[in-house]
Amino acid sequence: MTSVPVGRSWTTGIVREIERPTDQLVKIRFEVADRTPHRPGQHYVVRLRAPDDYTAQRSYSIASDPDDPLVEIMVEVLPRGEVSPFLHEIAEVGDEFELRGPIGRWFVWNDDVPSICIGGGSGVVPFVSMMRYAQRTGIDPRLRVIASAQTRERLPYVDELESYGALVALTRENHHDRVAAHIYPDEVKALAFGAQRAYVCGSVGFVSFAGRILGDAGISDENVRVEQFGPSA
Ligand SMILES: Cc1cc2nc3c(=O)[nH]c(=O)nc-3n(C[C@H](O)[C@H](O)[C@H](O)COP(=O)(O)OP(=O)(O)OC[C@H]3O[C@@H](n4cnc5c(N)ncnc54)[C@H](O)[C@@H]3O)c2cc1C
C-alpha cells in the first residue's frame, strides 16, 4: 500500500488569493509554510483564534492539484455558522491562519483504481483535487464524477465539473436536457460500470442516499469510501 503523507503539526497559511464566486461561496488560496505535499482527497483543519484566545477549528477539503504551489479550499457559508461566515465576510489577502494538514489516509484516491465519485454541494471539493490531478497526469478515464446540488449556482466549481465531463444532477433546476431530479439509479449504473471503488462526500442525508444508489448499481459497501460533512461537535 502506498504511504499517505499526513501533516501532524500546526503551521501558518497566508491568504494569497481570495474569491467570492457567489454570496454563499468563498475560495481561498493559501501559501502554506513547511508544506507537506497532499494526496487528492485529503483536507486541512483551519483554526480561528480570537484576541481572548478562544479558538474554533473546522475541516476543509483541499481542491488543489498536488502540483499547485498554493493550497486551495472552497467554503460554503452556512446560516448561523461560526467559521464559514467569517471566512466569507472577513478574510482578506495577506491574513494569516493556523492550519494543520494534509489530513486523511482513507479518503485519498489511489490513482490506479478506476473510481466513481459522488459529491453533494460542497462535497464536490475533494473530487476537484482528484479531477485536476487526473487531468494533469492524463489518467482522467479512471475517474468519473457525479455532482449534485439544488441549483447550478449552489454547485461549487460547476464550470470545471462540466468541462471535465462530470454528470451534473440538479434537483431544483433543469440542466440542459436533464429534468430537475435527484441522481437516479440508471445515471449511476452507467458511470459505475467498471469502477472498483466509490468515493462519496456531502451531508449526512446525501451520503446515505448516495450509498443506496451505489449499492443498486452493484458497488458493494466495502468498496465505498465516505466523507461526511455534519454539524461540528
Ligand atoms: C473532512 C471534512 C471536510 C470538509 N470540507 C469542507 C469543504 O470543502 N467545504 C465546506 O464548505 N465545508 C467542509 N466541511 C464542513 C466544515 O468543516 C464545517 O462544518 C462548515 O464550514 C460549517 O462550519 P461553521 O463553523 O460555519 O458552522 P457551525 O458553527 O459548525 O454550525 C452552524 C450550524 O449549521 C449546522 N451545520 C454545521 N455543519 C453543517 C453541515 N455541513 N451541513 C448542515 N448543517 C451543518 C450546525 O448544526 C449549526 O446549526 C468539511 C467537513 C469535514 C469533516
> In whole angstroms, what is the distance from residue 107 CA to residue 41 CA?
5
More confident residue, 231 or 92: 92
**Residue 183: is its pLDDT beyond 80?**
yes
Ligand 1 pocket residue status of 125, Cβ below 6 Å: yes
- Count of CB atoms within 10 A of residue 145's CB? 24
Ligand 1 pocket residue status of 18, Cβ below 6 Å: no
User: What are the tens digits of pLDDT across the range 90-131?
Assistant: 999 999 999 999 999 999 999 999 999 999 999 999 999 999
Which grid cell is 109? Answer: 484516491
Q: Please state whether the predicted TM-score (pTM) of the whole model is above 0.85.
A: yes
Which grid cell is 207? Answer: 451520503
Q: What is the pLDDT of residue 233?
A: 41
Confidence of residue 2 (pLDDT cuts 50, 70, 90): low
> In whole angstroms, what is the distance from residue 45 CA to residue 10 CA?
9
Minimal CA–CA distance to 209: which of 193, 196, 226?
226
Determine the distance separating the centroid of ligand 1 and the alpha carbon of 73, expressed in angstroms.
13
User: What are the tens digits of pLDDT across the range 127-173?
Assistant: 999 999 999 999 999 999 999 999 999 999 999 999 999 999 999 99
User: What are the tens digits of pLDDT across the range 11-68?
Assistant: 999 999 999 999 999 999 999 999 999 999 999 999 999 989 999 999 999 999 999 9
**Residue 3: is its pLDDT beyond 50?**
yes
Q: What is the pLDDT of residue 213?
A: 94
Determine the distance separating the centroid of ligand 1 and the alpha carbon of 231, expressed in angstroms.
6
Ligand 1 pocket residue status of 60, Cβ below 6 Å: yes
Give the residue whose CA is nearest to atom 46 of ligand 1: 231
**Residue 232: is its pLDDT beyond 60?**
no
Q: Helix 185-192 vs helix 204-216: angle between axes, to the nearest 10 degrees?
A: 70
Q: What is the pLDDT of residue 1?
A: 44
Kindly tell me the burial class for residue 161, based on how many C-beta atoms sit within 10 Å of its own C-beta (0-12, 13-18, 19 or more): buried
- Describe the strand order of the beta sheet including 55-61 as a list of residue ranges: 55-61, 43-49, 96-103, 10-22, 25-32, 71-76
Q: What is the pLDDT of residue 193?
A: 92
Signed CA dihedral, 35, 37, 39, 40: sign only:
positive
Find the length of the chain: 233
